[in-house]
Every structure is written in structure tokens, then in C-alpha cells.
Structure 1
């Protein structure tokens, strides 16, 4: 494996990788930077395109622990430059540029009877946790409405812990996407503390889309009005709301429970 050394922090490739820390840069180049062996292995296993591998000059031994990457260039940077490229304060000794893989083709409803709709989720940690929980619960299709944080934000990527690479993510206009799902036979379920029906007493249909809203404001009124119905999560304790990633887990695993209990 040939290692290409870069000795200057002003090198064009270094400038390119730094741009990937911003949404503008990721959208411009259609790629993102990931860190660590685990995420690189997950990306390769999921079939994502690896464009380059980046290591610090003192860390070439890590190459023996990486998955086989035929034809992928490896770049060695000065340790100080490597730390400028990566996001974490404790770099894991390897980073990689991979091509982004948003779903762009027509939606295939037969591939998944469950869809998760997110309206303006802003915290990267919340989105990452939601993606991981959704995958664990068997929900592969996650649609991101306007105002939702970039799914390729480094904090989202890290907190999703590999689930990002196996999730079919779409950026959509929920005002159009929800009626389209309803035409395909999906029942769209929102959440509200004022809903009459308890989430645990609701009989979820086979083809369902769960709608979750912003951390502070909840589901916007315009989007919420499009839902077929709302459910509430009982909260006997003295709290007003739950973290949206916790809400996602409660809702999605009730779907799992009902599926397993059905004949």
C-alpha cells in the first residue's frame, strides 16, 4: 500500500478535508469525513464509497487493522496537521473521506412499512441517537424535514455509531411528503400531551409513519395538522416533556412490541 506524505498544512487536500467540517463543504463535494476504525469498518460494510484514508505520520501501524481498501489512496500528515483536520480532541489514529449516500430514487413502500418523520430536530446528538434507535427497532427509512440538522454533521455521525450508514435518509418537504405517504396507505401518527389516546393503548396499523418534532417547540402546527391522529405518552411524574430521542425510543419500541405480540 503506497502512502502519500503531505508535509504542509496549506496543501490543497488538507484544505479540502477541512471544508468537510461544514455543511456547505460536504454538500459541495458530496462527501464527509469520518474518524476511527469502527466507523470506517461500518461504512465499508454498508457499501459506502471510501475516497481516501488519512493517518498521522507516526501512526502507520494502524493500517494493518483497517479493512481492505483496494485502490483507495492513503495520506500521511504531520501529527499537528492531522489534529487540525479531525473533529475530536482525541483522534483515533485514522480518518477517511467517504461519499454521502442520501436516498434520491423513488420511495419503495414495500421495503419498509414504517417510516420515521422528523420535523426540525436541531441537536446533532439527538438525531444520532434517533437514527441508532430507529435501526435497532427495524425502521430503515428516516425522512428529515426542513430545519433538521444535517445528518452528516460530525456529531450526528459519531452518536449514530454506524447506523447512519445503514439508514435510508431523505431530506423532504414534510408538507408534501406526508400527503404522499398517506396516498400510499400510511397512517401518520403525531404526539401531543393533549391527545386523548395513550400511546400504549393505540393499535398501530401495519403501515405507519411516526412524526416527531423540534426539541423545544414540538411539531409545528402546519405539519402537525397533516397527521391522521396524535397519541400521548403517559407521564405520571412531574415533568412536562421528554427528550425527543427518548420519545422516539418509546414510540418505536411499542411498534416492535405490538408486532411481536400479533399472531
Structure 2
């Protein structure tokens, strides 16, 4: 299939995937760039279309082969048509349009919950760190940036495709998780928490809550928590940003689990 015009009906439809409403209506999202495309094609997530800008270098044969193995529709596009769909300033010439994964919480032993984390870079970094440090599920609550927004997807560097990501309300999830793990703990992060993070027992089933960059964890989720933790610091900084703090705490969770 070849598409020449940016006014093509499919192009007009696909460009709407840059916003949350379009993604929700079509149940699709954009994955842009060679590395991310290859990562998705190697994952269990479903690729639907592979778009190639014919004005750029040819798509590597290994990617085309894998896309065909996954029954992905290959679409060649003019530079103008491709640019209309692309969300980057300097596109690499390849995009996969993938199906949104189903919302199917598994309530595993260790979970990260993002409470109104609105910065795409922070959210993407947290998702990337969650996968790196062995968490299987991340909950993005109401008020958190859409985890399938193009900037978030790029920031995950492919880690997104190896997680279960749930965009759902916090309190019902916490309630069911706590019933699933009656010996578990819900822990919120605060600039001044009740305990230092190394005191908390992260070998237990743990649901870790990271709050927004501006206001931290919301009061309703603090109330739903069993404990709060802080990261000890020696310098003059009042706090760390959400991505840095969350990454440190997820590393501490893994460190304790590896050493038990």
C-alpha cells in the first residue's frame, strides 16, 4: 500500500492518535523510531500497521521480516504524508501503529502506582525503571499523563512493551490489591516520610505510590497507605523529581528482594 497525500483518509485518522481522544476511539497508539519499533515487534503487543517514509533509508530487513511474521500491514508513505502522522521533529522514517493493550489488572506482588504524574518524561522514565527493576504492573491513575501518549512511549525506551500498564482509578485498585495480598503494604513517598526508605521492608508484597511533581501523593492516597517513606539526602535540595525518586525506591525494592 502506498499513500501520497497528507489529506488521505487514513492519514487524517492516524494523525488523531497524537491525542488521547483519538487513541481511545481507535484503540491504537503510535510507536515511532527504529529502536522502539523493533522492541515492540519483539514483544507480545500487537502491531497493526508499519508506516515507512519512502524519502528516508529503507527499513532494515530484520524489521520488515518480523513485521510480516506478525501479520502487520506495511504502508509506504510520501514524506509529506508520513510527516502528518509523525510526532517528532526529526522523524526516523518508521512508525508502528499498535493496538492498545486490554485493561486487565493482575494485582502482582510488587506494583508501582503513579498518582497524577503529569510530565511525560517523568512518567516514561518511571515506566522504564519499573521494567528494569522487575515490576510487572504499573497503574496510571486519573490525572496521570496517558501512558500511551507519544512522548511517554518514547521516554520508556521500549520498557513499556514488557509491562502491564493499567490506566484506571486508584482506590478500587488499591482495595483489590490489598485483598489479594493481605500481608502486603501500601507505601506512599513523601519529602518528609515516616521512615527512611531503607528501613521499610520491601521484601513484603508492596504497592508503591509516586505522587505528582507539584503536590506529591494526594491526601486520599496517603490515607489509603499503610506507611510513608522518604529518601535521605545530604545536600540542600528539598526534594527529587518524581522520576528520580521513584527510580531510587524501585532499586531499593529490588536490592532488598535480591538480598533476602
Check if 1:161 corresponds to 2:157. Answer: yes
Q: Deviations over 1:83-121 (max 9, x none)?
A: 2210111111211211111432xx434xx3100111101
Displacement of 1:60:
6.5
- Determine if contact 1:102/1:169 at 8 Å carries over to the other structure: no
Distance in 2, Cα, partners of 1:58 & 1:196: 57
Distance in 2, Cα, partners of 1:191 & 1:220: 10
Of residues 18-27 and 60-69 in structure 1, the stretch that sits farther from structure 2 once superposed is 60-69
Distance in 1, Cα, partners of 2:19 & 2:185: 36
Distance 1:60 1:243, change over 3 A: closer
Of residues 209-218 and 75-84 in structure 1, the stretch that sits farther from structure 2 once superposed is 75-84
Where do 4+ consecutive residues of structure 1 move more than 6 Å?
A: none
Distance 1:33 1:108, change over 3 A: closer
Count of matched residue positions in the alignment of Structure 1 and Structure 2: 255
Unaligned runs of 5+ in 1: none
Distance in 2, Cα, partners of 1:108 & 1:13: 35
Of residues 157-166 and 180-189 in structure 1, the stretch that sits farther from structure 2 once superposed is 180-189
Distance 1:257 1:63, change over 3 A: closer
Displacement of 1:133:
0.5
Partner of residue 134, structure 1: 130
With normalisation by structure 2, the TM-score equals: 0.93
Distance in 2, Cα, partners of 1:227 & 1:9: 50
- Determine if contact 2:5/2:80 at 8 Å carries over to the other structure: no
Displacement of 1:163:
0.8
With normalisation by structure 1, the TM-score equals: 0.92
Of residues 223-232 and 80-89 in structure 1, the stretch that sits farther from structure 2 once superposed is 80-89
- Determine if contact 2:202/2:257 at 8 Å carries over to the other structure: no
Q: Specify which of 220, 238, 254 is matched with residue 222 of structure 1.
A: 220
Partner of residue 171, structure 1: 167
Of residues 147-156 and 197-206 in structure 1, the stretch that sits farther from structure 2 once superposed is 197-206
Check if 1:52 corresponds to 2:49. Answer: yes
How do 1:1-263 residues align onto structure 2 when only pairs under 5 Å count? 4-59=1-56, 61-62=58-59, 64-66=61-63, 67-70=65-68, 71-104=71-104, 107-109=105-107, 112-184=108-180, 185=182, 186-262=184-260
Distance 1:231 1:15, change over 3 A: same
Distance 1:95 1:231, change over 3 A: same
Distance in 2, Cα, partners of 1:96 & 1:13: 14
Displacement of 1:65:
4.2
